[in-house]
Amino acid sequence: MANSGLWVGILTALTALGASYITARATSRAALAQARTTTTAAALREQRDRRRSTYREMMDCAHAFNEVTWQIDEVDAARDREGKDRLLTQMYERIGPAIGTINKAAHEVRLDGPAEVSAAAEQVRQRARRVQPLLKALIGDGSPERSHDYDAAYLDFRDAYVSFIGLARQALEVEDEVG
């Protein structure tokens, strides 16, 4: 009888050790899963914040470009060719640096992605670059064809910019749902 009591004690001890091991292992796995989840959430939050900042910079640069191109209304309102050419020359001098900042911002978006937003930023950059020579062509030439070409290029830029904004917003919303 004492022998069976010993066996019961041994089995009880082994059961307790086994249960303790299983509990410790499950706790360890849960802690590891929690740590991975926390790390992933933090990385996604950091990525979203970085992208949001990069997208805002791109939008700020596009807005600065727009501020230059919107001066075309002042050109149209000028009464004489000399006044128009002076305003167009000022616009042309300001548009180069504005395109330079768009170039830089588009490259930053390319690094942060995702691919669709990066491609949209590249379209904005390319469309902005098309406007510049058409603006220069307006200096000294008030023909309707030149104005039409400039207006069409600006509308292409604007459409690419609106597309970029939509894709950027969509990318951030998807990440908000995941994060």
pLDDT digits (tens, 9 = 90+) for 113-171: 899 999 999 999 999 999 999 999 999 887 889 999 999 999 999 999 999 999 999 99
- Per-residue pLDDT band at 2 (split at 50, 70, 90): low
Q: Is residue 73 part of a domain?
A: yes
Q: Is residue 55 part of a domain?
A: yes
pLDDT tops 50 at residue 178: no
Q: Is residue 147 part of a domain?
A: yes
Domain of residue 169, CATH code? 1.20.1420
Q: What is the pLDDT of residues 39-89, one digit of tens each?
A: 778 877 888 889 999 999 999 999 999 999 999 889 888 889 898 999 999
Instruction: Please tell me the total count of domains within the chain.
Output: 1
Q: Is residue 34 part of a domain?
A: no
Q: Is residue 83 part of a domain?
A: yes
pLDDT score of 87:
93
pLDDT tops 80 at residue 97: yes
Q: Is residue 26 part of a domain?
A: no
Q: How far is CA 47 from CA 57, 84, 110, 162, in A?
A: 15, 46, 14, 23
Cβ-contact 135, 88 below 8 angstroms: yes
Q: Is residue 33 part of a domain?
A: no
Q: Is residue 41 part of a domain?
A: no
CA–CA separation, 119 and 129 (whole Å): 15
Q: How far is CA 179 from CA 43, 109, 111, in A?
A: 9, 20, 20
pLDDT tops 60 at residue 175: no
* Residue 158 belongs to domain spanning: 50-178
Q: What is the pLDDT of residues 12-46, one digit of tens each?
A: 777 877 777 788 787 778 777 787 777 778 877 88
